[in-house]
Structure 1
Amino acid sequence: MVQRPGCGGSTRRSFLKATGGVALTAAAAGCIGSTESDAVRFILNPAEEQTDIVEEYTPMAEYLEEETGATIDLIRAGSYVETLEALESDQADIADTSPTAVPAGEGFADVIGMRTAFGGALYFSTISTTPDSGIDELADLEGEIMTTGARMSTSGTLAPTVMLSQAGLDVGNFPDGEANDLELRTAPDHDTSRERLENDEEIVAAATGAFASASQIPQEQFDDYPEFVEHSAEYDGAGEGIDDDENPELQLLAVSDPLPRAPIMARSAWDASVREDLETALLEAGENDLVPEDVDEEYQLWFTGIEPADRSDYQPVQDILDELGLEFQDFAPDDE
């Protein structure tokens, strides 16, 4: 049975609260330690969107329990960094991590597989504006205010920062400091970044993953990006969510190079007999195992499969970190 133990009245959303992004708190460690001794500790990355990630993962956990006989303990982390720290400090056996965690996990965290969405293992960042902003290309953002996603988000912040730099804008030492040619403001998640563009007249552009923007961008605007057309799960539905009242039309400024979707990783030193069975079940999971038809749309996972992958598949992410002069461990959780 999927375990959701409480601890001192705290919830899954808060009990791995960040303490500077350096180590999990002693209270959190005690919480994890209070689970059943044979439970598989599955740490969940804090969702980019404002969703209940434990609810989203519950069908997958139930599938894994049925396939392997293991007890799965779903635990929501407080930050991107904490998912990796939990593996390193033996407070987790498996973790749903971000792509940026892969380079930093060498030596203690193994890549089990890469999550896919509707058959696609690649995804994309977008930078968009509003049709009446007067912004036609990235170079026009000089002197303007732009919003991005969470500071350590690959598609919400890191890839877009590289896109701005390659367009000739001086991004300074953002996101570990300030940009020079424009003001960049981080948001806690992709949706909030887009919404700030829609609702704040000061902000003229927003960086998000395409999954948070494409439905509001007319499809033909993506046709100049053949890799997006070929590989993005969002291309077919691009523009279909435009609603003048609820979801206003956005204008595309740029699309990133393809990015590898987020991995599921395991603690390298984890030698439990159930590990091989769990990894096999993860890689063999079908869409109905991960997103059952009877699950409310609000609680559906954003991925539909997991394909084999290894550390080399995440070289594009390492390249982004290198270009920005960043390391995963540099980042404390966002304050927002």
Structure 2
Amino acid sequence: MSKIYTDVENLEHRKPFNSGVIFGDMSGRPQWSGDRRTFIKTTGAAGVAGLTGFAGCLGGEAADIQLVLNPAEAGVDIQVQYRPLIEYIESEAEVSINTERTAGYTETVTAMRDGQAEISGVSPGAVPATDPEIFDIIGMRVAFGSAQYYSTITTTFDSPVDELADISELDEPEVNFADALSVSGTLVPMSMLVDAGVDVGNAPDGDPPDFDPNYSDHQTSREQMVQREDIVAAGQGAFQSAPWIEQEQFDEHSEDFADISSEYPDAGSRIGDEHDELQLLALSDPIPRAPMVARADWDDPVREDVEEAMLTAPDSAFQHDEEVDEDEELWFTGIVEADRSDYEPIQLIIDNLAIEFEDLI
């Protein structure tokens, strides 16, 4: 039976990691360590109903615009993380923006659908999975110049799994994933399992025959896999796993990872920090990075100014003026124009899984 780890108390005690979140780049700025990649903190108590009354906007006044963002990792203050960009948009478009974190990708899309937010950052998978009448794409978030990122499936070196096919031979093994709608944390890992001959059934919309899935976030997926012997493997974005994987392992799986992924320079940099090296079982093909979106029926003259500010924001709009913790650094360094056609590769993943995304949302 699948499990969803969303209990705030259980997440709070963990050391905050960061997730630049499945998006890496190379823009002139120094490479960040794996710690600079995070979306938002998971809050199991933050239901969609709670989004109707967001707490104070960053500008200190009643918010003109609601911005909702979904978590990829636990332990991050989203308002601190996004402050530079939000303050820039507020200044350029003369608006006030309130930010609110949601408990997951599904809740974020639901908030947009129900008119509870004007702008949002969503998973790449939300694009082919969501009716175009719900949101329009403003642009694709890029990190240090890269518009693509990778998904991984990892395990420990003392695990009974040496290759993905081994999972089918074990008795009721558990496998960790991120949010059910996460591309790099769930959908791509599920697709890689399918390609390896593992029976995933109609997961993540149901329980797979060959293993028991646990859904949480990228950080929790990694942490619990290391901590618990019954969890034999875990799917997560390379932004989360790479610091515990030596570069040589990536080289063995892909000739392009070193050139495309911003995680490559930091690969292996945290081995021995929290735990030993992870074994890389599978590495995906490149995945288009996550977009910023606007509610499709948002009809306000200020919308054009807000979107223009996002697409033309200077480097400084993505950097804090003051020193902040690494996990509070914004994971992306720019937003470039994009449309739904840029996310067609995600549809191939959905087709490979033979799932109906609407059922998940």
* TM-score normalised by the chain length of structure 2: 0.79
Structure 1 counterpart of 2:356: 327
SS in structure 2 at match of 1:313: helix
Aligned positions, number:
312
Query: Within the alignment, does 1:128 sit opposite 2:154 as a pair?
Result: yes
C-alpha distance in structure 2 between counterparts of 1:156 and 1:92, whole Å? 25
Match of residue 186, structure 1, among 205, 214, 225: 214
Q: Unpaired segments of 5 or more residues in structure 2? A: 1-40
* TM-score normalised by the chain length of structure 1: 0.85
C-alpha distance in structure 2 between counterparts of 1:16 and 1:265, whole Å? 25
Structure 2 counterpart of 1:252: 280
C-alpha distance in structure 1 between counterparts of 2:287 and 2:258, whole Å? 14
8 Å Cα contact 1:16/1:76 also seen in 2: no
C-alpha distance in structure 1 between counterparts of 2:167 and 2:114, whole Å? 42
Once the two structures are TM-superposed, the CA of residue 216 in structure 1 deviates from its matched residue by 0.5
Structure 2 counterpart of 1:89: 114
Change (3 A) 1:187 1:248: farther
Structure 2 counterpart of 1:198: 226
Structure 2 counterpart of 1:279: 307
Change (3 A) 1:187 1:269: closer
Once the two structures are TM-superposed, the CA of residue 114 in structure 1 deviates from its matched residue by 0.8
Match of residue 343, structure 2, among 314, 319, 336: 314
Once the two structures are TM-superposed, the CA of residue 218 in structure 1 deviates from its matched residue by 0.6
Change (3 A) 1:79 1:203: closer
Query: Within the alignment, does 1:232 sit opposite 2:258 as a pair?
Result: no
Structure 2 counterpart of 1:71: 96
1:89-168 to structure 2, matched below 5 A, reads 89-103=114-128, 104-142=130-168, 143=170, 144-168=173-197
C-alpha distance in structure 1 between counterparts of 2:237 and 2:63, whole Å? 37
8 Å Cα contact 1:216/1:249 also seen in 2: yes
Structure 2 counterpart of 1:264: 292
Structure 1 counterpart of 2:18: none
SS in structure 2 at match of 1:83: helix
Superposition CA RMSD, Å: 2.4
Deviations along 1:100-125, one digit per CA (max 9) or x if unpaired, are: 22121412311011111111111111
C-alpha distance in structure 2 between counterparts of 1:95 and 1:132, whole Å? 41
Query: Within the alignment, does 1:214 sit opposite 2:214 as a pair?
Result: no
Once the two structures are TM-superposed, the CA of residue 322 in structure 1 deviates from its matched residue by 2.6
Structure 2 counterpart of 1:171: 200
8 Å Cα contact 1:16/1:77 also seen in 2: no
8 Å Cα contact 2:134/2:297 also seen in 1: yes
Change (3 A) 1:241 1:13: closer
Once the two structures are TM-superposed, the CA of residue 156 in structure 1 deviates from its matched residue by 0.8
8 Å Cα contact 2:105/2:179 also seen in 1: no
SS in structure 1 at match of 2:191: helix
Amino acid at match of 1:217: I
C-alpha distance in structure 2 between counterparts of 1:13 and 1:160, whole Å? 21
Deviations along 1:152-186, one digit per CA (max 9) or x if unpaired, are: 211111100000000111111221222222x2322
Amino acid at match of 1:86: A
Deviations along 1:2-39, one digit per CA (max 9) or x if unpaired, are: xxxxxxxxxx9769833xxxxx43x543x159987771
SS in structure 1 at match of 2:266: coil
C-alpha distance in structure 2 between counterparts of 1:186 and 1:127, whole Å? 14
Q: Unpaired segments of 5 or more residues in structure 1? A: 1-11, 19-23
8 Å Cα contact 1:32/1:91 also seen in 2: no
Deviations along 1:187-207, one digit per CA (max 9) or x if unpaired, are: 411111111221111222211
Amino acid at match of 1:40: I
Deviations along 1:199-224, one digit per CA (max 9) or x if unpaired, are: 11122221111011001001011113
Deviates more, 1:319-328 or 1:199-208: 319-328
8 Å Cα contact 1:129/1:251 also seen in 2: yes
SS in structure 2 at match of 1:236: helix
Query: Within the alignment, does 1:44 sit opposite 2:72 as a pair?
Result: no
SS in structure 1 at match of 2:267: coil
Deviates more, 1:73-82 or 1:218-227: 73-82
Deviations along 1:266-322, one digit per CA (max 9) or x if unpaired, are: 112223222222112111223331122524123111111111110011112222223
C-alpha distance in structure 2 between counterparts of 1:174 and 1:15, whole Å? 22
Change (3 A) 1:70 1:209: same
SS in structure 2 at match of 1:251: strand
C-alpha distance in structure 2 between counterparts of 1:234 and 1:122, whole Å? 11
